[in-house]
Amino acid sequence: MAMIEVPDPNILSWRRHGILTQYTPRKGDHEYQTPGFPDYSPQKTEIRYLAQRWTPFEGTYIAFRAKKPWKTMFRSRVKELYFHRRADLDAEVWDMLDEYLEYVRDHAEAFWEVLHWFTIKYKPERDEEDDDLDKYSVSAKLYRERAARHESVGRSMEARIRKSATFISPTSPL
């Protein structure tokens, strides 16, 4: 079930692949969605249906992760600086850029996961009678590991942004 039509900005919700979606909620002027990616998210009441789709694909996801697609993403990153000439940047700026690049390389897996979100079913629904919790053990482990990577990179990225903001002055070449 694909999307039948592109929603008008006045439309509040629509179905996409059978799941009720909405435009990504915003707080103030802050843009949460990565530019260039779809600007919608599932409605909270529909997340359980996304979770039900997980179980048949668990093995496929594990096999795909074994290929380490985040390494491909990092190797294919944009490598040019636009609007800046290298000769105009001082050593401190280059050190900061090198440090940032090393950070992104070291956390490429978490960045890849943030850009490729989906719902993992790691426990039965409340109304689901299921005593076999072992069948969720692999998914639960994947979920915990992903969540830990996201939390870690989120906290450290915020600290790096604060540090960079104090480093870069209005007269800085950046």
- Structural tokens at position 53: 């789709």
Q: In the 3-class helix/strand/coil scheme, how is 38-66 assigned residue by residue? A: CCEEECHHHHHHHHHCCHHHHHHHHHHHC
pLDDT of residue 117: 76
- Which residues, given as ranges, of the chain have pLDDT below 50? 1
Cα gap 16→4, rounded to integer Å = 8
pLDDT, one tens digit per residue, over 94-130 is 888 888 899 999 999 999 998 887 788 888 887 777 6
pLDDT of residue 154: 84
* Domain range annotation of the chain: 1-43, 53-167
